[in-house]
Amino acid sequence: MMQSVEEAVLDIRDLNVRFQTNDGIVQAVRGVDVQVAAGECLGVVGESGSGKSQTFLAAMGLLANNATVSGRVEFLGQNLLELSVRELNAIRGRRISMIFQDPLTALTPHLRIGAQMQEVLQTHQRMSDRDARQRCLQWLENVRIPEAAHRLSQYPHELSGGMRQRVMIAMAMLCEPQLLIADEPTTALDVTIQAEILDLMDQLRRDHGTAVILITHDMGVVARMCDRVQVMRHGEYVEQGSCEQVFYSAQHEYTKMLLDAVPRIQVSVDEAQEPMPVDEAQGPMPVDETQESMPVDETQEPSEPDASRQGDTSSLPQSDATALSDRATGSSFDAQSGSASDTILRVRDLRVTFPVHTGWFARKRDLRAVDGIGFDLAAGETLGIVGESGSGKSTLARAILQLIQPTSGQVNWRGQELTDLGRQDLQKFRQDAQIVFQDPLASLDPSMTVGDSMAEPLKVFEPGLDRQARTRRVAGMMERVGLPYTLINRYPHELSGGQNQRVGIARAMMSRPRLLICDEAVSALDVSIQAQILELLKDLQQEFGLSLIFISHDLSVVWEISSRILVMYLGSVVELASRDDLFARPQHPYTRQLVSAVPVPDPVLERARHRIKLQGELASPMEAGARLRFLPSRRAQLPIDYVPILSERFPNHFVAEHDPLESLTRSQNKPAHKCSQ
């Protein structure tokens, strides 16, 4: 269903973009064609560096001046590339407008929201301040920003991420443009907010017939939003067609690979209904069933990971039950006694609080980043920890590794309390427990060759080794993590993100740890790399009988790798259960919101899904009473900083107290429209 040129709002032909860089000429975009029709939503998918953004920045004439552009960019018959800046300015922001990835940096920090919005109207429509203000107000309301009037006089940094992006959208829509280009509009946002923003954009598009170009790397988002998809790679379109074509009958290898690589959770079309009580439950929802319904899933080999999972879950109940029911009833817990043989890590009522300054002279207040968390980890098992930004998951990881001094609570490593370890024993522990970080580049010392970085742990833990021996060990590990030995003398900035992350993992593995904590280990990577790294981790776990704690904001990734999943909200656990159990019958409203918000790379299913929307956005941990967000009914009688108690609702399925979902959900708006077929 190719659009023919005449009805196209934007018609790009044979666009080429070259960059003059210090290291020679780089061809970012190679002769691409794009057409968008009015009211249509075109998805442009591709991995980082595929040139998907450059294409449209070029079209808008927003590229840095070291770029050279050739080709035609017809917007309603005008070739934008031939326009002078003045003429172009008459179009930008008025008839074509753009939304960018990071709403914080994309808004001018020192201008009030009102000022930034109004200047658009004043430039393009010579509008008086009063009218302009009116219009802005109205648009802020259209994008459902509470107390719009007040926002106008606020600065960007005073708004939450989601709000900023709403402002961006409102600003982009002010002149009701024919074309809206959204460049990764939700990538920087939490999944629940992403869901809302996407809905909003969809809404606007339908209400105003604006053509939308959605640039993203997330197949799920595409599946949800777009009529047509163009898949981009190395500056070229490898495949394009309607959503369904691309998703269900991908032609090009790359597209297939992309789709395969995306980890996908199984979801029932409607999470809203109350899950069945545990007794009449015939176990978690059968995995294979859903898999049938989705052919794509076959590629995903279930062998080892599943096996390992089986192993874990079988071993779990005992320890967990005792451990956590104890925790639940708040009775004191004896590390030695109830510990099952293969429980290697035991965390109890762990708390980390930071003093924070607010305002120039306000007294310090405590930020309770981790607020009484407890769980057990068995040898060889993988625990996933999910939470949105500010939920304290990274802090938790560091507290466990004693990189941060916990404020209170116990971390028990194989029968030893870490909190009261001496430097020596701590060294031993460090040898046992390693961490892999989010940003592959930032986690390697730029002034060291990757070889040295990997060798460093050896220097510390096995001082005996001589140089050769170390090099041999490093080489071995490099091969193991799939790094060519040739890279040993390279520096991080010379390697790709994937390679760097492998280095990071290799370094972590050098000391042959028993526990590996992955803090957003794949979040910064493209899906294809992401998949490979996940795979690598699974293999390593298998080979060395590692226990993994896998921390991520991305539910689907966690789902991909974990056997059990712990859902965090503002530093405390809201739900903890085996993976399948959690997805089959999520209990806590927050969990259910999360699950329902995760976009699935499957147009039909995705658009059929029903989303749960809860009042308000993710609150900051500083906010008083934020912890009672899911317990409004008892706000009155409970102390303001009360942490809802965790209780075992089904075997090995722990849920924090909460009000029934219905009382929390927002006025339901109709499910996203089915895509035209």
When the beta carbons of 362 and 636 are compared against other proteins, the nearer one is: 362
Stretch that binds other proteins, among 83-91, 145-153, 186-194, 668-676 (CB under 8 A): 83-91
Q: Is the CB of 14 or the CB of 543 nearer to other proteins?
A: 543
Task: Please report which helix (H) or strand (E) contains residue 375, including its range.
Answer: strand 365-378
Helices (H), 511-554: 527-544
Q: Least distance (Å) from other proteins to the CB of residue 300?
A: 9
Q: Which residues pair with 240 in a beta bridge?
A: 230
- Lay out the site mask for other proteins across 349-368 (x = CB under 8 A, - = otherwise): --------x-xxx-------
CB 649 within 8 A of CB 587: yes
- Looking at residues 298 to 337 of the shown chain, list those that interact with other proteins (rule: CB under 8 A): 299, 301
Give strand ranges (E) for 134-206. 179-183
Rounded-to-integer distance, Cα 283 and Cα 279, Å = 9
Contacting other proteins within 446-485 (CB under 8 A): 446-449, 451, 453, 456-457, 460-461, 478-479, 482-485
Does 338 sit near other proteins (CB under 8 A)? Answer: no
Q: Which of residues 186-215 bind other proteins (CB under 8 A)?
A: none
Q: Considering only 130-138, 236-244, 409-417, 500-508, which stretch makes contact with other proteins by CB under 8 A? A: 500-508
3-state SS class at 238: strand
Position 88 contacts other proteins (CB under 8 A): yes
Give the nearer residue to other proteins in terms of CB position, either 220 or 451: 451
Going by the DSSP 8-state scheme, the letter that residue 333 receives in this structure is -
The residue (of 270 and 479) whose beta carbon lies closer to other proteins is 479
Choices 126-134, 487-495, 570-578, 651-659; region in contact with other proteins by CB under 8 A: 487-495
State how far the alpha carbon of 574 is from the alpha carbons of 307, 391, 638, 665, in Å: 28, 11, 17, 17
Distances (CA, A) of 136 to 124, 323, 574: 14, 55, 39
The footprint of other proteins on residues 506-545 (CB under 8 A) is: 507-508, 510-511, 528, 531-532, 534-536
CA distances (Å), origin 421, targets 172, 324, 347, 378, 403: 56, 24, 15, 21, 13
Question: For residue 509, what is the DSSP state?
Answer: H
Which residue lies nearer to other proteins by CB, 23 or 280?
Answer: 23
Which residues in the 417-446 window bind other proteins by CB under 8 A? 426-427, 430-431, 434-435, 437-439, 442-446
Please identify, among the stretches 216-224, 254-262, 621-629, 649-657, the one whose residues bind other proteins according to the rule CB under 8 A.
Answer: 254-262
User: Site residues for other proteins, window 18-37 (CB under 8 A)?
Assistant: 22-23
Which residues are CB-contacts of 458 (< 8 A; sequence separation ≥ 6)? 465, 470, 473, 474, 510, 511
Q: Which of 381, 375, 451 is nearest to 409 (CA)?
A: 375
In whole angstroms, the minimum distance from the beta carbon of 222 to other proteins comes to: 19
Report the distance separating Cα 551 and Cα 438, nearest Å. 10
Closest to other proteins by CB, 227 vs 260, is 260
Judge contact between 30 and 235, C-beta under 8 A.
yes
**Contact pattern from residue 610 through residue 649 relative to other proteins, giving x for each residue in contact according to CB under 8 A and a dash for the rest:** ----------------------------------------
Q: Does 2 bind other proteins (CB under 8 A)?
A: no
Rule CB under 8 A: say whether 86 interacts with other proteins.
Answer: yes
Residue range at the interface with other proteins (CB under 8 A); choices 37-45, 75-83, 109-117, 194-202: 109-117
Q: What is the largest CA-CA distance in the chain?
A: 78
For 292-328, b/e burial (b = at least 16 CB within 10 A) is eebebbeeeeeeebeebbebbbebbeebbebbbebbe
Among 107, 180, 265, 605, binds other proteins (CB under 8 A): 107
Strand 408-413, strand 416-417: pairing: antiparallel
Cβ proximity to other proteins, 283 vs 463, nearer residue: 463
Return the number of the residue (382 or 434) whose C-beta is nearest other proteins.
434
Residue 297 as a binder of other proteins (CB under 8 A): the answer is no
Nearer to other proteins, 8 or 106 (CB): 106
Binding flag, residue 488, other proteins (CB under 8 A) = yes
| Interacting positions 386-415 with other proteins (CB under 8 A) | 398, 401, 403
Per-residue mark of binding to other proteins, 38-57 (x: CB under 8 A): -------------------x
- Residue 363, Cβ density class (10 Å: 0-12 exposed, 13-18 middle, ≥19 buried): exposed
- Which 256-285 residues touch other proteins, going by CB under 8 A? 257, 260-261
Task: Classify residue 528 as exposed, middle or buried by CB count within 10 Å of its CB (0-12, 13-18, 19+).
Answer: middle
Residue 571 structure tokens: 């530093």
Q: Please tell me the count of residues contacting other proteins according to CB under 8 A.
A: 95
Specify burial of residue 255 (Cβ count, 10 A radius: 0-12, 13-18, 19+).
buried
Query: From the CB of 357, what's the least distance to other proteins, in Å?
Result: 8
